[in-house]
Amino acid sequence: MPAAAGIEGAEQRSVQWVCDQGDWAQIDSFVERVVEHFGRVDILVNNAGGTLPVPHVEDVPELLAKVQGVPAGDSSFERTARFHAAAIQNNLTSPLWFSLRTYRAMAAQTGTGSIINISSGASHPAGSPTLVSYGAAKSGLNHLTRSLAEEWGPKVRVNCLALGATMTENFQTFVLPADDPAGADYFRNVPLGRAGSADEVGAACVFLCSGQADYINGTTIEIDGGMLPGTLYEAGIRTIEELLAGP
């Protein structure tokens, strides 16, 4: 497992398995496999998700649907409907399914479990143009976090991290413009002047799962460098528009 490289004894204590989170039956089998292999499950991080910004919410271009893995369909409306349905599935429904199934395992064992949902600054009440269905799903994920925390405490703590710009390969490819690859102009509306890193997000997850966070439950923590709501959408869509325009 690449993430475990360099950690002593990790070969015996870690595995890498694949599951289609859009299939509740696969989620059921996946969690069962984890419990059978390790004897219990203590932590779930709902990190899978994402989408692409679209210039016009009512008509998703065929190229963006293809990149997102959405069937083209027989009409532009079908393609658009499928694109937004996939955003809701990947960013709200699937995390709910994973949480439900994992809680059933956690509730049957000793100790307190921890579930972390990965949300986004697009969930802010200020709105998220170009990311309408994604933002709505992430907003729902924030609410889901609080509701599950109230239902499942004290057996399981449920918290959420709402990320701002985070420097990943996809972010560099689909968000940062070709003439600003380091994001110098893009990050002008982030008070810290840069993107976050995957390591910084990971450190926040480790904290929330640790004994130092035993009384933190049902909260959404923003990890966005103080990003001003709504300021990055115009800059973020430019790369997509250039992609659609072609060479």
Model confidence pLDDT, tens digit, residues 227-247: 877 666 676 677 788 778 876
88 with 136: CB under 8 angstroms?
yes
**Which of the listed ranges 9-13, 59-63, 70-74 does the model predict with the highest average pLDDT?**
59-63
Q: What is the pTM of this model?
A: 0.92
Q: What is the pLDDT of residue 101?
A: 98
Is the peptide bond between 154 and the residue preceding it cis, with omega within 30 degrees of 0? yes
Instruction: Pick 129 or 183 by higher pLDDT.
Output: 129
Can you give the pLDDT at residue 188? 83
For the chain, what is the mean pLDDT?
91
Catalytic residues: 134
Give the pLDDT confidence score for residue 230 in this predicted structure: 67
pLDDT at 231: 62
Average pLDDT over residues 41-57: 95
Question: What is the rounded average pLDDT of the residues 74-92?
Answer: 96
Half-sphere exposure of 43 (CA within 13 A, CB side): 10
Neighbours of 151 (CB within 10 A): 12
Q: Is the pLDDT of residue 8 over 90?
A: no
The structural domains of the chain, ordered by start, are: 17-245 (3.40.50.720)
Residue entry with tokens 């420097």: 167
**What pLDDT sits at residue 232?**
62
